[in-house]
Amino acid sequence: MVQKSYHMAKSLTEIQCRNATSEGKKIRKLSDGAGLYLWVYDSGEKYWRYRYVIDGKEKSLSLGVYPKVTLQSARKLAVEKGCLLANGKDPSQERKLAKIERKIAADNSFESVAREWYGKYLRTWVDSHAADVMRRLEYNIFPKIGKRPISQITGPELLDVIQDIERRGAFDAAHKTLGMVGQVFRYGIATGRCAYDLAAALRGALTPVNRKHQPAVRPEKFPQLMRDIAKYHQTGGLDTQYGIQLLAHTFLRTGELIGSRWSEVNFEERIWEIPAERMKMNNAHLVPLSDQVIAILNALKPLSRGSDFILPGRNHMVSISNNTILSALYKLGYKGKMTGHGFRSVASTILNETGFNPDVIERQLAHSERNEVRGAYNRAEYIKDRRYMMQWWSDYIDAVTEGRKPEPPVL
């Protein structure tokens, strides 16, 4: 490979560069020597070019716009290109390779991989969870290591980023954010962008967090709870009492219940379909209606004041708030002892101890389906068994509330 740059003894000055004109030509080329030229256009624009010959072919390479790139800076760039030539490398080709490497690095940055991972899972999340994930990444992670190639991030580097969250006293948030980062690393491994899940090795380095589970009464205290709820109308609203009883009979999540609309209930088919957008795992969910649930819904109908919502707030155009049911339980004396979510725990415990099929229970609890494709078609899975279980559960609630011994299920 034969190469050379152009050498001329004459050099430009900063004043010459500043005052240079095209002198009526379309382009005037002023040489600084060593292959460096200032091209002055009739429009007044000025560009630095580096001219050289390699393998018998004359080439030129742009080094930037004057005066943004000063004469001194242009000379340094020309020297760098001359060094490449001296080592048998084509400056133009090296620039193209560097551009490709930068693109690869950008595509493999932590932020790029994280956003790709986020896009894959976005449709499986409810809006609130999706917003929380992106907020944590954009606030805590991207500003610090987002531009770094994911394969080059080190354990101590990641640990320092997560410990920044701990230094704010947000210990639980630090654990949750590390968990999200771990999912990004595992996605990076699966797509060939990195080899290790650094987050997995850092779990023991964070301050432990004692997470409190949602309070729930023990099964033996459940009958008294239901008796107390049955008297709530004496001090609170009858519609709120019915709302809590619906939660007990259906063991929906509170957020899934409060936004429910009458259009979701099919009394003829005895089924209540919660749409995907209100479900935690973003999959539509079916609730078989027991005789007792149908009776509660019929009692609620006149109390809803013509609202589309089964449980409207004071303004019948909107649903009750998240705190309505929790506040009612507090009013009954169950603060720190029971929450709306606690009905799911009690139901799960009793139904499992009674001998119902765990798969049937899990499906009715609408816990996540690990197989995404299967989950999309599984809302009616075990529906016959679920109908029987939900009627038995309502009969059980009536029995223990009235002090009767429940009938055992036929399994």
Catalytic residue among 175, 253, 285, 363: 253
Neighbours of 116 (CB within 10 A): 15
253 is catalytic: yes
End-to-end alpha-carbon separation of the chain, Å?
85
Tokens for 219, please give them.
């099964």
Catalytic residue among 341, 363, 379, 386: 341
Catalytic residue among 46, 278, 285, 344: 344
377 is catalytic: yes
Which amino acid is residue 66, in one-letter code? Y
Give yes or no for a contact between 276 and 282, defined as CB atoms under 8 angstroms apart. yes
Catalytic residue among 25, 139, 377, 384: 377
Give yes or no for a contact between 214 and 341, defined as CB atoms under 8 angstroms apart. yes
Taking the C-alpha atoms of residue 354 and residue 400, their distance in angstroms, rounded to an integer, is 14
Tell me if the bond preceding 67 is cis, omega within 30° of 0: yes
Give yes or no for a contact between 334 and 225, defined as CB atoms under 8 angstroms apart. yes
367 is catalytic: yes
- DSSP three-state, residue 2: coil
344 is catalytic: yes
Tokens for 409, please give them.
């299920």
Catalytic residue among 367, 374, 384, 404: 367
Q: Tell me how far the alpha carbon of residue 7 is from its chain's centroid.
A: 58
The residues annotated as belonging to the active site are 253, 280, 341, 344, 367, 377
